[in-house]
Amino acid sequence: MSKPTALLWFRQDLRLQDNPALQAAARQGSVLPVYILDDSNSGNWAMGAASRWWLHHSLTRLSAQLDNRLIALSGDPLKIIPQLMDAHGIEAAYWNRCYEPWRIKRDSKLKKQLEENGKQVHSFNGSLLWEPWTRLKSDGEPYKVFTPFYKNAVARGVELESILGEKPALRIADAEVHDTSIDRLKLMPDITWYEGFEEVFTPGESGAWEKMERFIEKGIYNYRQGRDYPAMENVSRISPHLHFGEIAPHRIWQLADVAGQRNGCEAQAEYFQRELAWREFSYSLLYHFPTLTEENMNPRFNDFLWLEDRELLRQWQRGMTGYPLVDAGMRELWTTGYMHNRVRMVVGSFLVKNLMQHWIHGARWFWDCLLDADLPNNTCSWQWVAGCGADAAPYFRVFNPITQSQKFAAEDYIRRHVPELAALPDKYIHEPGAAPESELAAAGVRLGVDYPAPIVDLRASRERALDAYKSLKEAD
């Protein structure tokens, strides 16, 4: 008697190795692998354009691993999955859990619907080191500050064996489903601004492993110091792979452990793992405070007088602010789908404090442009910069893009992404407005023509922001 077929629903776990739902489904018999592009339930947070580019390539490579038999559909899983199961006589569905509020709501509804119809549902943790309900304070409340969250989580350990495992032997079920090609999902954007993405990233499971191996070889030994320097190669750039589940966080944690011990850089590896824990903290926050994507975590900021200036916002988006480090970061984002973490903090601070634009504008732009656009991380990071989130940056912390650029030696980074300034000497490339006319002329730079003059005065805008934040604080 043949074993039954199990439906495996791929979501944010586009890999074969270290995939607990896949391993469990494969043990039961043949597997019907399915991916569903769900723009029906996502509300305001449907996948952005850069993420769709990544998804197209990741699904293509995943399907190749599955003998090109991945069933790729678009629509509402609440309708599609029951129909697939009924059509193929499938009694059990398997998936790895997702944690965004809209996905939780959808999955809970689907599970109830399937179970009421006599179907089995098996869900697993394939995406987090610590699921949000497993690392709480002693009183059962969620943490709002990172350090105690981290200490509690690490003290209780990481259960590597719960996820780590080899690629299972798969027997893929025969299925008659029409129009299941990945191309029909129409994930590729209409405009080809994404051509630079492929120079930096290779979506898919093998690309994730290659990126991690390169980081271990060239970056982890000096991670804590080097990660702040945008021109250095000490960051992992693993975040898009991690977001799409092409590599498990447990595997990354383990690889960092092994690399630290082997190379005698345990402290560097631990600091890298700490950054993984920040991702976990963001997931915990959004799980316990599901309105964070639209609302300030600190309600005092509901009365904050943000400015509404579409032209300032547009100049920030285009990387035409007149501040080279900000512009380099915004152009890196546009051309590569990625931005260095130090620079993310600088451009975020510049938008919400120097330009006084609402953090939601930054969150939505990043959501559309980032390959690693991750709802918990994106939301919590922007609220952190704005000062209205959990464990937020103090209101008086305003990143100065000039001193940040000088401190972290961003000369080569600026030359790469703001080529019109490439001929300026190091002394002036951080602040072209301070360069003598002779230096500007020698470099072929005319401020306001070849490169914009600063769109806002740093000192005056900083004082304006501090006054606004201080008045909010005093009114509390």
Q: Pick the catalytic residue: 131, 222, 341, 420?
A: 341
Q: Do 345 and 275 have their domain in common?
A: no
**By three-state DSSP, how is residue 202 classified?**
coil
Q: Do 82 and 149 have their domain in common?
A: no
For the segment 3-34, what is each residue's pLDDT rounded down to a tens digit? Answer: 679 999 999 999 999 999 999 999 999 999 99
Q: Do 29 and 139 have their domain in common?
A: no
Question: Could you confirm whether 306 is annotated as catalytic?
Answer: yes
Question: Could you confirm whether 278 is annotated as catalytic?
Answer: yes
Is 188 a domain residue?
A: no
List of E strands, 129-242: none
Question: Could you confirm whether 302 is annotated as catalytic?
Answer: no
Q: Which domain holds residue 420?
A: 299-474
User: What own/partner pairs with CB < 8 Å and gap ≥ 24 does 317-322 have?
Assistant: 317/365, 319/417, 319/418, 320/452, 320/455, 321/350, 321/452, 321/454, 321/455, 321/456, 322/432, 322/433, 322/447, 322/451, 322/452, 322/453, 322/454, 322/455
The pTM of the full predicted model, rounded to 2 decimals, is 0.95
Count of the separate structural domains present in the chain: 3
Q: Pick the catalytic residue: 359, 365, 367, 384?
A: 359
Q: Which amino acid is at 392?
A: A
Q: Where are the alpha helices (DSSP H) in 201-309?
A: 205-218, 223-226, 239-243, 249-263, 266-288
Is 178 a domain residue?
A: no
Q: Pick the catalytic residue: 152, 306, 420, 439?
A: 306
Question: Could you confirm whether 152 is annotated as catalytic?
Answer: no
For residue 153, pLDDT beyond 80: yes
Q: Pick the catalytic residue: 41, 278, 420, 439?
A: 278
Q: Do 335 and 392 have their domain in common?
A: yes
User: What's the rounded Cα separation, in Å, for the pair 11 and 34?
Assistant: 9
Q: Pick the catalytic residue: 102, 130, 209, 382?
A: 382
Domain boundary among 256, 288, 320: 288
Question: Could you confirm whether 411 is annotated as catalytic?
Answer: no
pLDDT of the residue at 189: 81
Q: Do 113 and 146 have their domain in common?
A: no
Q: Do 361 and 433 have their domain in common?
A: yes
Question: Could you confirm whether 341 is annotated as catalytic?
Answer: yes
Q: Do 20 and 155 have their domain in common?
A: no
For the segment 274-327, what is each residue's pLDDT rounded down to a tens digit? Answer: 999 999 999 999 999 999 999 999 998 998 989 999 999 999 999 999 999 999
For the segment 346-374, what is each residue's pLDDT rounded down to a tens digit? Answer: 999 999 999 999 999 999 999 999 999 99
Is 1 a domain residue?
A: no
